[in-house]
């Protein structure tokens, strides 16, 4: 097999054979295909796409590049959720313990944030003592004792994807739907969950800016799931405005704990409950209403045990930023726009996110939104509080908020519905 033949075939619009795909993914993982050859192949895939059999085989080859986890020793059915990422998307934090409290086991391998969307591990690492890296045995122990575990994926899981994703990141080939879908699904299938709910975000703060693109990605991932015998459901959900009121690591942990305590912003509660119901149905668990587990404190109990099992202190005060700066409503009227991308970039510039993989994040940095699109506001009332350790960050953050919010004397916001569509 020759790398140049495989590149030429995809460049000229041919369907790659299973043997070509298996060889290309394996040879790249072993270092037998050069980075520049894989970047040419990734670009040919981005431009010419892949058929359903090609995507299924590519995903399979990436799964086979590493270990496959196995939770058959657990007495409960497993369920997982994956979000394509958004601004203020802290849903995993209340969701995993909630679904565990209703009887499923939730093995959740999560990532760190890059760019304007946050990462679940960065959020949890703001809890003093909490540890993201667990061995497979430790993961099983936490799952057995609490029902849920959220931790970092080990280096042995889909190493082909790890290498390819880093290459795509620097070659303008992230945005290929077959490559995104196979990247996400190879990790989720290798993780060994029995059922999967995908939260595909749509809007300015998401990867997929339009419902059409998001639907294409969701349908591709659901098809990969069914081709691999994994029960997979996808929801398309709104990311034209931030989710909830808090954007930033420790701020989002605080908001998640409010949800677990039975409070929290209505959109975070609604999406958490919707996804929990989908996960329980996909796992074959009936007769439990997750709303009861928020009301009766059982989800909070799982959260506290899950955090403590990974070395965290659920009662410890969370880090706060050294400095704050307020943004006030410029006039009285309705807040008609609060753009997710603008708020996400501002939070990132305040220190909540990182520009390069190796950068640290500031746990206390971020933004608190005091009004939601549709709310009536009075001139001079606080709209946003910016939090940063270093006050020199405020100017750049304020630049990205220019034009990101709008108050109009009359008019209603033109918002996407929180749940736009369901694909199964
Ligand atoms: N997340 C992933 O894991 N892979 C992609 O390709 C894009 C987002």
At 14 the pLDDT is: 98
At 169 the pLDDT is: 82
Tell which atom from ligand 1 comes closest to the C-alpha of 174: 6
Tell which atom from ligand 1 comes closest to the C-alpha of 165: 6
**CA of 348: how far to CAs of 114, 222, 398, in Å?**
9, 31, 12
**What lines the ligand 1 site, CB under 6 Å?**
165, 174, 179-180, 183-184
Crossing angle of helices 92-101 and 266-282, rounded to 10°: 50
CATH number of 80-309: 3.40.1030.10
Sheet holding 366-369, edge to edge: 246-247, 366-369, 382-388, 323-328
The sign one gets for the Cα dihedral 149, 229, 55, 26 is positive
Return the domain boundaries, the chain. Answer: 3-49, 80-309, 323-408
Of 90, 112, 116, 168, catalytic? 168
At 174 the pLDDT is: 87
**CA of 308: how far to CAs of 101, 313, 314, in Å?**
16, 6, 7
Domain 323-408 is in which class? alpha beta
**CA-nearest residue, atom 8 of ligand 1:** 180
- The DSSP bridge pattern shows strands 195-202 and 231-238 to be parallel
At 248 the pLDDT is: 97
Q: Which of 300, 345, 265 is nearest to 87 (CA)?
A: 345
Q: How confident is the prediction along the chain (424 residues), in pLDDT tens digits per residue? A: 899 999 999 999 999 999 999 999 999 999 999 999 999 999 999 999 999 999 999 999 999 999 999 999 999 999 999 999 999 999 999 999 999 999 999 999 998 876 777 789 999 999 999 999 999 999 999 999 999 999 998 889 999 999 998 899 888 898 899 999 999 999 999 999 999 999 999 999 998 999 999 999 999 999 999 999 999 999 999 999 999 999 999 999 999 999 999 999 999 999 999 999 999 999 999 989 999 999 999 999 999 999 999 999 999 999 999 999 999 999 999 999 999 999 999 999 999 998 777 788 999 999 999 999 999 999 999 999 999 999 999 999 999 999 999 999 988 999 999 999 999 9
Ligand 1 center from residue 172 Cα (angstroms): 13
In this structure, are residues 62 and 160 in contact, taking their beta carbons and an 8 Å threshold? yes
At 113 the pLDDT is: 76
In total, the chain counts a number of residues equal to: 424
Tell which atom from ligand 1 comes closest to the C-alpha of 111: 3
Of 65, 110, 183, 362, catalytic? 183
> The whole model's pTM is what?
0.95
CATH number of 3-49: 1.20.970.10
């Amino acid at each position: 097999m020759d790398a140049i033949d495989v590149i030429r075939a995809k460049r000229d619009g041919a369907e790659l054979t299973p043997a070509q795909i298996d060889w290309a993914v394996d040879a790249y993982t072993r270092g037998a295909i050069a980075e520049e050859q894989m970047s040419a192949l990734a670009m040919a895939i981005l431009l010419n796409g892949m058929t359903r059999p090609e995507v299924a085989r590519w995903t399979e080859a990436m799964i086979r590049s590493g270990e496959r986890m196995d939770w058959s020793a657990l007495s409960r059915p497993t369920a997982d959720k994956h979000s394509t990422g958004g601004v203020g998307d802290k849903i995993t934090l209340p969701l995993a313990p909630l679904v565990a409290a209703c009887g499923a086991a939730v093995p959740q391998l999560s990532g760190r944030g890059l760019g304007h969307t946050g990462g679940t591990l960065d959020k949890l690492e703001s809890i003093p003592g909490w540890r993201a890296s667990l061995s497979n045995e430790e993961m099983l122990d936490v799952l057995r004792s609490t029902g849920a575990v959220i931790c970092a994926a080990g280096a042995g899981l889909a190493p082909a994807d790890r290498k390819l994703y880093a290459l795509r990141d620097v070659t303008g080939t992230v945005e290929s739907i077959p490559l995104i879908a196979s990247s996400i699904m190879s990790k989720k299938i290798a993780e060994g969950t029995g059922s999967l709910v995908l939260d595909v975000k749509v809007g300015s703060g998401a990867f997929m800016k339009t419902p059409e693109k998001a639907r294409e990605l969701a349908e591709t991932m659901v098809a990969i799931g069914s081709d691999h015998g994994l029960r997979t459901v996808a929801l398309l959900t709104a990311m034209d405005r931030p989710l909830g009121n808090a954007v930033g690591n420790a701020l989002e942990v605080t908001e998640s704990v409010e949800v677990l305590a039975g409070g929290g912003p209505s959109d975070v509660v609604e999406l958490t409950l919707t996804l929990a119901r989908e996960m329980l149905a996909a796992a074959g668990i009936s007769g439990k209403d997750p709303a009861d587990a928020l009301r009766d404190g059982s989800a909070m109990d799982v959260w506290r045990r899950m955090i403590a099992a990974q070395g965290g202190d659920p009662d410890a005060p969370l880090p706060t930023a050294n400095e704050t700066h307020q943004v006030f409503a410029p006039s009285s009227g309705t807040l008609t726009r609060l753009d997710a991308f603008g708020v996400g970039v501002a939070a990132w510039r305040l220190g909540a996110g990182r520009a390069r993989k190796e950068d640290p994040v500031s746990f206390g940095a971020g933004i608190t939104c005091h009004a939601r699109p549709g709310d009536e506001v009075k001139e001079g009332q606080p709209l946003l509080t910016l939090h940063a350790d270093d006050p020199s960050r405020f100017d750049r953050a304020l630049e990205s908020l220019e034009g990101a919010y709008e108050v109009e004397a009359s008019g209603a916001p033109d918002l996407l519905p929180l749940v736009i569509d369901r694909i199964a």
